[in-house]
C-alpha cells in the first residue's frame, strides 16, 4: 500500500479545511484531501452571508449577546466571545486575500439583517453567493503555496494511531469505489474538517457529502462527541415534490419576505420578531401549519430588485417555473446544520492527541442549542485562525512517524445509496423537526436492526448516536423539540450531552439483543456533564 508523509493532514476541503490549509502551510507541508470537489461542499453552497459586528451601531458584545440568546442556555460564553471578537479581524483578512464584499451606493460594506440578529451585521459577496466567493478567493490563494498538496476523490475511512493512541494519519480509498487504499501520515496533526450530517435526513439543504463521516472517524479514535441531538432545520427551502430542497436564504426574509399560508394569513404574526424569529421557532410553525393540512409560502412579491439581490435564488425559482416577484414561493423546512459535533476547543483540539476538528464537524459550544444565522462560515474561519495560532505559538513536538507501529481501528466501508435512502426516511420520522419518545424508540430500533446487517457502516453509527442523544435529553431546548417534554428543563441549562467510545461498545451487544435500548442508552451511554 502506498504511504505518504506530511506535517499536517487535513480531511475536507470546505471553507474550514481550505482556510486551515492556507494558514498552516506557513508551519509545514500540508495535505488537503476530500471525497468531493471543493465546489460540492456546504461552504460553496452557502448563500446568506457571514456575520461580523462592523456597523456603526453595532459592537462585539451585542453580537455575542445575540449568539448566546439564540443558543438557548447551552452556548459556551468563552467560545461565543471568541467568535464575535475575531469576526472583524476575519473580515479584514478576507479583504486582504481578495474577497470583495457587496457595497452600498456610498461605497461602504452593505450589512444585511437576518433572524435573531439585533443589528444589521451580515456581510454578503456576490449577492447570495457568499460561500462561493469566499471559497474562490481561498482556492486562488492556495495556488501560491507550493507546500500544499491537494487531492480529491479520496474518501477517508479510518484514522491511524500509534500505541499511545496518538492520531498519526488517515487511510483513504478512492471515492470512485475502487478498492485501492492509500495511507497518509501526519507528523504534527490530523485535522478533520468534514462538515455536517444533513444527508442523514430525507429533506436537506446539504450536498451529498454531508454524511457526518468525521464524527465516526473521531469516535473510533476515542474522541468525545457533544450535543448531537441539536440539528437545525432551516425553515425555508423550495418545496416541490421530487426536487431536492433548495434553500431560500434567511436574507430574503431579512429583505422583507413574509411567510403566509393558503388563506393568506401571516404565519409568524403573533411573534415579536415575526418572520425573523429564531430558525427553530419558524421551522416548527411552518411544520405545524403543514400538519394541519395547509401549505406555507414565502411572499417576496413586494421585494424591490429581487433579481439583483438574490440572483441564484431567482434563477433557481425560474427554473422550477415560478417567478419570485409574481408568484408565492412554496416552502418547507429541511435539515441544514449540526450544532453538535466532535467536542473541541476553539483551536480545534479534541481529547485525542494529534487529532483536531474544525468547522461544522466540531462542537466548540459557540452555537449552543441553536445557531444564529451566518455564524457558521464565520466559525470555520475563526477556528482556522485559532488553529494557526496554536501551531505558531506552541512548541508543538514533531513526531517522526514510525509506520510499522501503526494501530488500526475498525475499517469502515463507504455506505451504499440504498442504505442512505433508508436511513434518511428513518431519521426524518424519528428525530426530525418534532420528536417524542415513541418516534425516537421506533427509529432507534430500526437503526439497530440495520446495524446488525451492516456492522461496518459509519452512517448507521451516526444515526444511532443522534437518536440516542435526543432520547437522553428529556426537554425541549433550541432546535431539539420534544412533544412529550415541550419546555426547557432548568436543571439542564448548560448541561451538555456527551458520547464516548468506552461507554458505547459495552452495551452494543445487549442493545442488539434487547429492544429496551433507550433505557439502557439513557442510563449507561450518554453522559450528561456539567459545563
In the complex, the residues that contact ligand FAD under the rule CB under 6 A are 11-17, 33-36, 38, 41-43, 45-50, 130-131, 154-156, 193-195, 205-206, 209-210, 213, 247, 337, 359-361, 374-377, 380
Question: Count of H helices and E strands in the chain?
Answer: 16, 21
User: Do β-strands 225-226 and 341-343 pair in parallel, antiparallel, or remain unpaired?
Assistant: antiparallel
Q: Which residue sits closest to ligand FAD, CB atoms considered?
A: 14
Cβ 157 vs Cβ 169: under 8 Å: no
SS3 state of residue 380: helix
Contacts of residue 402, defined as CB under 8 A and 6 or more positions apart, other chains included, come to 162
Contacts of residue 207, defined as CB under 8 A and 6 or more positions apart, other chains included, come to 36, 40, 41, 42, 45, 199
The one-character DSSP state at 445 is H
Q: How far apart are CA 496 and CA 465, in angstroms?
A: 14
Catalytic annotation, pick one of 121, 253, 279, 316:
279
- Inter-axis angle of helices 458-472 and 417-430, nearest 10: 10
Cβ 389 vs Cβ 89: under 8 Å: no
Phi first, then psi: give them for residue 457, nearest 5 degrees.
-75, 125
Output the DSSP codes for 316-372: HHHHTT--TTTSPEEEEEEEEEES-EEE--TT-B-SSTTEEE-GGGEE-SSSTTSPP
Cβ 517 vs Cβ 444: under 8 Å: yes
> Cell numbers of 260, please?
403566509
Cα-based distances in Å from 518 to 113, 132, 528? 42, 42, 15
Strands of the sheet with 122-123, listed across from one edge: 50-51, 122-123, 111-112
Cβ 357 vs Cβ 192: under 8 Å: yes
Closest CB 303 distance from ligand FAD, rounded Å: 18
> Cell numbers of 219, please?
469516535
Closest CB 79 distance from ligand FAD, rounded Å: 15
Closest CB 164 distance from ligand FAD, rounded Å: 24
Cβ 31 vs Cβ 11: under 8 Å: no
CA-closest candidate to residue 134, choices 12, 26, 23, 16: 16
- Per the annotation, the verdict on 279 as an active-site residue is yes
Output the DSSP codes for 4-42: EEEEEEEE--SHHHHHHHHHHTTTS-EEEE-SS-GGGSH
Q: With respect to ligand FAD, which residue has the nearer C-beta, 42 or 469?
A: 42
Q: How far apart are CA 464 and CA 462, in angstroms?
A: 5
Active site residues: 279
Amino acid at each position: 500500500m502506498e504511504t505518504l508523509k506530511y506535517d499536517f493532514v487535513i480531511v475536507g476541503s470546505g471553507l474550514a479545511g481550505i482556510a486551515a490549509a492556507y494558514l498552516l502551510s506557513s508551519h509545514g507541508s500540508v495535505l488537503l484531501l476530500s471525497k468531493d470537489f471543493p465546489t460540492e461542499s456546504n461552504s460553496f453552497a452557502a448563500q446568506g452571508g457571514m456575520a461580523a459586528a462592523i456597523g456603526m451601531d453595532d459592537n462585539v458584545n451585542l453580537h455575542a449577546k445575540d449568539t448566546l440568546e439564540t443558543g438557548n442556555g447551552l452556548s459556551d460564553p468563552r467560545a461565543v466571545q471568541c467568535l464575535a471578537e475575531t469576526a472583524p479581524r476575519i473580515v479584514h483578512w478576507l479583504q486582504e486575500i481578495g474577497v470583495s464584499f457587496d457595497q452600498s451606493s456610498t461605497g461602504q460594506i452593505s450589512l444585511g439583517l437576518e433572524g435573531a440578529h439585533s443589528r444589521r451585521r451580515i456581510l454578503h459577496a456576490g449577492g447570495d453567493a457568499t460561500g462561493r466567493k469566499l471559497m474562490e478567493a481561498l482556492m486562488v490563494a492556495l495556488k501560491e503555496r507550493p507546500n500544499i498538496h491537494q487531492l480529491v476523490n479520496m474518501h477517508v475511512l479510518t484514522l491511524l494511531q500509534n500505541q499511545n493512541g496518538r492520531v498519526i494519519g488517515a487511510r483513504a480509498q478512492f471515492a470512485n469505489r475502487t478498492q485501492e487504499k492509500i495511507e497518509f501520515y501526519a507528523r504534527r496533526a490530523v485535522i478533520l474538517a468534514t462538515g455536517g450530517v444533513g444527508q442523514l435526513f430525507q429533506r436537506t439543504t446539504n450536498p451529498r457529502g454531508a454524511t457526518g463521516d468525521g464524527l465516526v472517524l473521531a469516535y473510533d479514535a476515542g474522541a468525545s462527541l457533544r450535543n448531537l441531538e441539536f440539528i437545525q432545520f432551516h425553515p425555508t427551502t423550495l418545496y416541490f415534490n421530487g426536487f431536492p430542497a433548495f434553500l431560500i436564504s434567511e436574507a430574503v426574509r431579512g429583505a422583507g419576505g413574509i411567510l403566509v399560508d393558503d388563506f393568506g394569513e401571516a404565519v409568524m404574526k403573533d411573534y415579536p420578531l415575526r418572520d425573523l424569529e429564531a430558525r427553530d421557532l419558524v421551522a416548527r410553525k411552518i411544520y405545524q401549519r403543514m400538519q394541519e393540512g395547509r401549505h406555507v409560502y414565502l411572499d417576496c412579491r413586494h421585494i424591490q430588485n429581487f433579481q439583483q439581490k438574490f440572483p441564484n435564488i431567482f434563477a433557481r425559482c425560474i427554473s422550477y417555473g415560478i417567478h419570485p416577484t409574481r408568484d408565492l414561493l412554496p416552502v418547507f423546512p429541511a435539515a441544514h446544520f449540526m450544532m453538535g459535533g466532535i467536542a473541541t476547543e476553539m483551536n480545534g483540539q479534541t481529547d485525542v492527541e494529534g487529532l483536531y476538528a474544525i468547522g461544522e464537524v466540531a462542537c466548540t459550544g459557540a452555537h449552543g442549542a441553536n445557531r444564529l444565522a451566518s455564524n457558521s462560515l464565520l466559525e470555520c474561519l475563526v477556528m482556522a485562525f485559532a488553529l494557526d495560532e496554536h501551531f505558531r505559538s506552541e512548541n508543538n513536538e514533531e513526531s517522526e512517524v514510525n509506520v510499522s507501529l501503526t494501530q488500526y481501528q475498525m475499517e469502515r466501508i463507504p455506505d451504499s445509496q440504498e442504505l442512505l435512502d433508508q436511513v434518511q426516511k428513518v431519521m426524518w420520522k424519528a428525530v426530525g423537526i418534532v420528536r417524542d419518545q415513541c418516534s425516537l424508540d421506533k427509529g432507534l430500533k430500526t437503526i439497530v436492526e440495520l446495524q446488525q446487517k451492516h456492522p461496518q457502516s459509519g452512517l448507521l453509527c451516526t444515526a444511532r448516536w443522534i437518536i440516542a442523544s435526543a432520547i437522553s435529553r428529556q426537554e425541549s431546548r433550541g432546535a431539539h423539540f420534544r412533544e412529550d417534554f415541550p419546555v426547557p428543563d432548568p436543571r439542564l441549562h448548560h448541561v451538555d450531552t456527551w458520547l464516548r467510545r468506552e461507554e458505547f461498545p459495552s452495551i452494543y451487544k445487549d442493545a442488539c439483543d434487547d429492544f429496551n435500548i433507550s433505557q439502557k442508552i439513557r442510563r449507561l451511554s450518554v453522559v450528561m456533564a456539567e459545563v
